[in-house]
Every structure is written in C-alpha cells, then in structure tokens.
Amino acid sequence: MPVDKRRTDKKDLWDKLSSIGPLFIALAVSAIGGWFNFQQASLEKANHRQELFTSLLAQRERADSNLRATMFNTLFEAYFGGKFSSKTAKRPADSKGNEQFNPNAIRSQIMFLNLLSRNFDTIDIKPLFEEVDRQLTVLINDKRAGDDSKDAFVLRQKLRRVGKSLALNQAKNLASLQQTHTEKVFIKKCGSEPAEFHIIGKTQVQSKIIDVTDILDGKVRVVLDTSDSASDNGVPPSFTVSFYDMPYIDNAHLSSNVRLSIVLEQYISPRRFKPFLNQIVDHGIADTVRRSLENGRDSNCDQAVIRLIQFPEGYMGLRDRPYLEEVYRRILHAQSEKGGKI
C-alpha cells in the first residue's frame, strides 16, 4: 500500500475520533453529573430521614418525661395527701375505743408501691417499703390481733414479693452486662449457733462472705472478705440486706474497679411462720416449713438465700449521675496510664 494512502487512512480515522470524542466527553460528563445528583439526592433523603427520626425520638422522650413527671407528682400527692397514707391503715375506733386494722388501706399502699417501683425503678423508695413492712410486722407479732395478724401476714408476703420482683429484675439486667459475675449463697442459722452458709453452683465473684452475724425477720446481716474493700481500720465491710435493697441503688463501690450488690431472694423462719402455715402462698416455702417443724431440730433454724452481683464500676444507668470526684479520679487514672499530665 502506498505511503500516501496509509497517511490518508490514519488522518480519516483521527478525524472520525476527533469528531466522536466530544460526544463521549459529553456523555461521560452527563453520566457523572447524573450519578452525583443521584448520590446527593440520596444523601439529602437519608439526612432528612435521620433528622425526622431524631425529632420523633426527641418528641417521644419529652412526652414520656412529661408523662412520668405528671404521674410521679400525682402518685406522691395522692400518697402523702392521705389517699394512700399510713394514717388510713386503721379503721375508726370501735365502741370500746380500740383502733381496728384496715387491710384495704394497706392494699392501696402496696398497689401504690408496686406501680411506683415498676415505673420509677431508679428512685430509692426503700423507706416507704420498710414503713409498710414495719406496720404489718407489728400486727403480725401482736398475739391479741387474732385474724388480723393472719391478714397482715398475707399482705406482708405480697409487699415483699413486690420488692423482691423489682430487685431480681434489676439483678437480671445487671447480669447481662459484660464482666458481671453472680453467685447464690444459702444461709442457715439455728438459734445462737454460728451461721452455716455455702455457695450454690460456681462463682467468679471476688468478694467472699466470711460471716453471717444475724438473720432477722426478713433481713440478713453479712460480713464480706474483700482485701480491696476493707475499711481504713482494717474491718471488713458488713451489709444488712432486705427484700427492698435494689441493685441499681444499693451497691458498694469497691476499689478493685467493681461494684457489688446483694439481693435477698428468700427468707424462711419455721418458728415465725408456724402460726400462718395456711396463709403461705409459696408452696415451696410452705413445704420447707412443714418439714422443718416435723424434723423438730430445724424448727428453730432460719434460712435465707442471697445473691451477690459483681459488676463493673463504670456501669451507669440511664438516669445515673456520676460523682465529680469519681469522674476526676477516672481522668487522672486514664492520664497516668498514657503517661501524660493534666
């Protein structure tokens, strides 16, 4: 093929490419522009959805907070205003001037405490529980009360179930956290003899019970052996646990970077429960009381089951407020690990 003809063919091909090139460039620019506009629209749409979702969550949180605040004020105004007050726990005096037990008033108080504990589990209402428990216990121990003492025993069971249910629910939530360990301990104390106790199952809890100084009516006093949490004078810490100790609130801050809470799961006293055997709702407890009474030797032995929950010190509930001293201590600790200075 002649050289001139090859040059002409190359020139024609280049002319064709030159004429098509702008078209390809235009198509590429158009495609990139369309893709960019699509991505921009998608991003704006996602941002709009996120803003809408955030706004809805904020409105829902405000509505929930306002509802809870209104509910809290209404309940406490009703309680301290007299509708659920302990002053109504007794009926008007009879013809002889003796005040009579009013179980309906106590039921109202228990209903109030149940409602309050279900909706405000981070508020310390232990004093309210203990006051109602104290009133019922006085009547239970009054030998002159007759059938009223049996009614009081039934109501106290219900009250303690409310407290125990809330405590165990909080313990279950804490147990789901990482680095949380729990253990159950069975305790038995017969009269003035030293208490016996053993761990149920396996445990990884650092704090160990070294003594149970007493088992009262629905309360257990334990002494823990923790080298980290011993007081300045070298005395191991002790705790008195009832059905109304809530893990979210009633926990000890140990220096080994953990917190410890103790929950009372069960309390059985055959000698105290004997007059009310037919009123015991829990069949397992009733059977234990019967066996202890039949045994004779165990009739004077009180039993309890407690649960120890060890969870990270850094845990903070939704409504927890950190102490400034604790926050400052953590900052210092973090800086010291990095070798920096504040």
pLDDT at 215 over 90: no
Residue in this structure with the two tokens 């300045």, named with its chain if needed: 232
Q: Which of 241, 180, 234, 237 is nearest to 214 (CA)?
A: 241
Neighbours of 171 (CB within 10 A): 22
Q: What is the pLDDT of residues 111-165, one digit of tens each?
A: 888 888 888 777 888 998 999 999 999 999 988 878 899 999 999 999 999 999 9
Helices 147-175 + 126-140 axis angle, to 10: 150
CA 133, distance to chain mean position in Å, is 22
Whole-number Cα distances in Å, 4 to 13, 106, 193: 14, 116, 122
d(CA 289, CA 204): 32
d(CA 334, CA 329): 9
Bridge partners (DSSP) of residue 90 are: 101
Residue 147 has φ and ψ, to the nearest 5°, of -65, -25
C-alpha R_g of the chain: 35
d(CA 272, CA 157): 13
d(CA 246, CA 118): 12
Bridge partners (DSSP) of residue 263 are: 307
Q: What is the pLDDT of residues 83-113, one digit of tens each?
A: 555 444 454 444 444 557 788 888 988 988 8
pLDDT, position 92: 47
* Stretch 207-232: mean pLDDT: 74
Q: What is the pLDDT of residues 156-208, one digit of tens each?
A: 999 999 999 999 998 988 888 888 888 899 999 888 888 888 888 776 676 67
Global confidence as pTM? 0.69
CA 101, distance to chain mean position in Å, is 34
Residue in this structure with the two tokens 């009250």, named with its chain if needed: 159
Domains of the chain, by residue range, sit at 1-67, 82-325
d(CA 230, CA 232): 7
Bridge partners (DSSP) of residue 219 are: 216, 242
